[in-house]
C-alpha cells in the first residue's frame, strides 16, 4: 500500500453518522429474506443506518458483480450472473412490505449484456406500475456504453426520474473513471432529457477528489446545457484502502456555496452536503422541484 492510499482522518462534520440505528435491522432482514441487493450495502453507503431505519433503500438489480472497476467504487468487479427473471417480482414484494411511495432502482454496470441490462430496468418499472401507477419511480443507470437503443427502451417505460451520475470533473476521468467517457455520459442525459417523454433527469458528483472550483462550475454548466433538472453533490469517502484516496474534505459551508451557485444555473432542485448521495432522501428532493 502506498502512502497515497492511506485514509485521511475524518473531520468532525463527517463523524455524526450512526450506521447502526434502531429499526434498521427490520429492513435489512426483509431485503435479505427476499434475496435483494441494495447499493446501500454493496457500496458501503454512510447513510445505510438512517435509510434502513426509515424503511427505505435503493434496490440494485442485475446482481452485485460489476463488469467495470471504477477507482472510487466498493462494488465488486467480477464475472456477473445471468439476469434473474424473478427479481422484479421480489422488488415489488419489498415495495409492498415497506409501503414505499418513491422507489429508487439502480444496477451494476453490465457491459456483458447486449442492452447493458436495460430490459431488466424496463421489466421492473412495468411490474411496479402494474401494482400502483401512482408510485414515483426513479432509476439510476450506467451509461449502457452510450448506445441509444437501451435508452429508448427505458424512455418508453417512462420512469419519473432518470439519474445518470457524471461522478467527477472530466479532468479526473482517467484516474477516477477510466472506463467511462464524460461526453458520453452527458449524451446519455441529453437523450433522455430531450425525448418527448416527461421524465426528469438527474445527475450527481462526488467532491474531494482533487477537482477545482472552476472545473466544478463548468460541469454545472455542461449539465444544464443538456437540460439536466436535478443535481446532487456529496463528499467522496474512500470505501476501502484499495480505492482512490480522498484529496480533500469539503466544509459544509462550501457545499452550501456550491448549491447556491448551481441553482443560479437553472437546476430545478439541488441537494448538497457531506453526506448527500445520489438517492439519499430522493423522495424529499423530488418533492422540492421548482419550475
Q: Give the separation between CA 105 and CA 180, rounded to whole angstroms.
A: 21
Task: Collect all residues with Cβ–Cβ distance below 8 Å to 247 and sequence separation of at least 6.
Answer: 208, 209, 210
Least confident segment among 40-49, 121-130, 150-159, 220-229 = 40-49
Say if CB 271 and CB 258 are below 8 A apart.
no
Phi-psi region of 145 (alpha: psi -120 to 50; beta: other; left: phi over 0): left
Give pLDDT tens digits for 200-217: 999 999 999 999 999 999
pLDDT, tens digit, 9 for 90 and up, residues 128-137: 999 999 999 9
Four-point Cα dihedral 113, 119, 125, 130, nearest 10: -140
Cβ(62)–Cβ(110) under 8 Å? yes
Q: What is the pLDDT of residue 181?
A: 96
**% residues pLDDT > 90 (the chain):** 66
Band the pLDDT of 286: cuts 50, 70, 90. Answer: confident
Return the residue matching grid coordinates 484516474: 175
- The predicted structure's pLDDT at residue 6: 61
Measure the CA–CA gap between 247 and 211, rounded to whole angstroms.
9
Q: Which domains does the chain have, with CATH numbers?
A: 19-286 (3.20.20.70)
Phi, psi angles (nearest 5°) of residue 107: -155, 160
Give the number of other Cβ atoms within 10 Å of residue 249's Cβ.
18
> What is the rounded average pLDDT for all residues in the chain?
89
Amino acid at each position: 500500500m502506498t502512502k497515497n492510499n492511506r485514509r485521511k482522518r475524518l473531520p468532525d462534520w463527517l463523524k455524526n453518522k450512526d450506521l447502526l440505528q434502531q429499526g434498521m435491522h427490520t429492513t435489512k432482514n426483509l431485503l435479505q429474506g427476499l434475496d435483494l441487493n441494495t447499493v446501500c450495502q454493496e457500496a458501503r453507503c454512510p447513510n445505510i443506518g438512517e435509510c434502513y431505519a426509515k424503511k427505505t433503500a435503493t434496490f440494485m438489480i442485475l446482481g452485485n458483480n460489476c463488469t467495470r472497476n471504477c477507482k472510487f467504487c466498493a462494488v465488486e468487479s467480477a464475472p456477473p450472473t445471468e439476469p434473474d427473471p424473478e427479481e422484479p417480482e421480489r422488488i415489488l414484494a419489498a415495495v409492498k412490505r415497506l409501503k414505499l411511495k418513491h422507489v429508487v432502482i439502480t444496477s451494476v454496470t453490465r457491459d456483458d449484456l447486449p442492452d447493458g441490462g436495460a430490459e431488466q430496468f424496463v421489466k421492473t418499472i412495468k411490474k411496479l406500475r402494474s401494482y400502483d401507477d401512482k408510485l414515483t419511480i426513479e432509476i439510476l443507470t450506467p451509461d449502457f456504453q452510450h448506445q441509444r437503443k437501451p435508452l429508448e427502451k427505458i424512455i418508453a417505460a417512462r420512469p419519473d426520474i432518470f439519474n445518470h451520475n457524471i461522478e467527477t470533473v472530466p479532468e479526473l476521468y482517467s484516474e477516477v473513471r477510466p472506463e467511462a467517457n464524460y461526453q458520453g455520459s452527458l449524451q446519455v442525459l441529453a437523450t433522455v432529457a430531450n425525448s418527448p417523454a416527461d421524465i426528469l433527469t438527474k445527475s450527481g458528483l462526488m467532491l474531494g477528489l482533487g477537482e477545482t472550483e472552476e472545473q466544478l462550475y463548468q460541469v454545472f454548466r455542461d449539465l444544464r446545457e443538456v437540460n439536466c433538472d436535478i443535481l446532487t453533490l456529496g463528499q467522496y469517502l474512500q470505501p476501502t484502502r484499495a480505492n482512490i484516496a480522498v484529496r480533500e474534505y469539503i466544509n459544509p459551508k462550501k457545499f452550501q456555496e456550491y448549491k447556491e451557485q448551481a441553482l443560479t444555473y437553472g437546476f430545478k432542485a439541488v441537494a448538497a452536503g457531506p453526506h448527500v448521495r445520489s438517492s439519499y432522501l430522493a423522495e424529499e428532493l423530488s418533492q422540492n422541484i421548482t419550475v
